[in-house]
Protein backbone atom coordinates (compact mmCIF):
# COMPACT_ATOMS: atom_id res chain seq x y z
CA UNK A 1 0.00 0.00 0.00
CA UNK A 2 2.82 2.37 0.75
CA UNK A 3 4.14 1.91 -2.80
CA UNK A 4 0.69 2.71 -4.19
CA UNK A 5 0.51 5.88 -2.12
CA UNK A 6 3.95 7.04 -3.24
CA UNK A 7 3.07 6.56 -6.90
CA UNK A 8 4.88 3.35 -7.86
CA UNK A 9 2.03 1.25 -9.21
CA UNK A 10 3.86 -1.10 -11.60
CA UNK A 11 3.31 -3.97 -9.18
CA UNK A 12 -0.46 -3.37 -9.23
CA UNK A 13 -0.88 -3.13 -13.02
CA UNK A 14 -2.08 -6.72 -13.34
CA UNK A 15 -5.11 -5.84 -15.46
CA UNK A 16 -3.51 -3.00 -17.42
CA UNK A 17 -2.93 -5.24 -20.44
CA UNK A 18 -6.51 -6.55 -20.59
CA UNK A 19 -8.68 -5.23 -23.37
CA UNK A 20 -12.10 -3.92 -22.43
CA UNK A 21 -15.07 -5.17 -24.41
CA UNK A 22 -17.34 -2.48 -25.79
CA UNK A 23 -21.01 -3.44 -25.63
CA UNK A 24 -23.15 -2.25 -28.55
CA UNK A 25 -25.60 0.36 -27.29
CA UNK A 26 -23.84 0.25 -23.94
CA UNK A 27 -25.40 3.53 -22.84
CA UNK A 28 -28.88 2.04 -23.16
CA UNK A 29 -28.33 -1.64 -22.39
CA UNK A 30 -25.15 -1.54 -20.30
CA UNK A 31 -26.67 -1.57 -16.82
CA UNK A 32 -29.42 -4.12 -17.60
CA UNK A 33 -26.86 -6.42 -19.24
CA UNK A 34 -24.61 -6.08 -16.19
CA UNK A 35 -27.53 -6.97 -13.91
CA UNK A 36 -28.40 -10.03 -16.03
CA UNK A 37 -24.78 -11.17 -15.96
CA UNK A 38 -24.57 -10.83 -12.19
CA UNK A 39 -27.87 -12.68 -11.78
CA UNK A 40 -26.63 -15.47 -14.06
CA UNK A 41 -23.45 -16.03 -12.07
CA UNK A 42 -25.37 -15.87 -8.78
CA UNK A 43 -27.64 -18.65 -10.06
CA UNK A 44 -24.61 -20.71 -11.11
CA UNK A 45 -23.21 -20.41 -7.59
CA UNK A 46 -26.50 -21.37 -5.95
CA UNK A 47 -26.98 -24.39 -8.20
CA UNK A 48 -23.46 -25.65 -7.68
**Secondary structure, 3-state, 3-22:** HHHHCCCHHHCCCCCCCCCC
**Total domain count, the chain:** 1
Q: Residue 47 domain-assigned?
A: yes
Q: Residue 32 domain-assigned?
A: yes
Q: What is the dihedral sign for C-alpha 8, 12, 18, 21?
A: negative
Q: What is the pLDDT of residue 44?
A: 96
1-47: per-residue pLDDT in tens? 777 778 777 777 777 788 887 777 777 877 888 899 999 999 999 99
Structural domain of 46: 19-48
Q: What are the distances in angstroms from CA 22 to CA 25, 30, 39, 43, 44?
A: 9, 10, 20, 25, 25
Q: Residue 11 domain-assigned?
A: no
Amino acid sequence: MAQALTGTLEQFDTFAGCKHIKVPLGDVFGNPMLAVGMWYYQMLEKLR
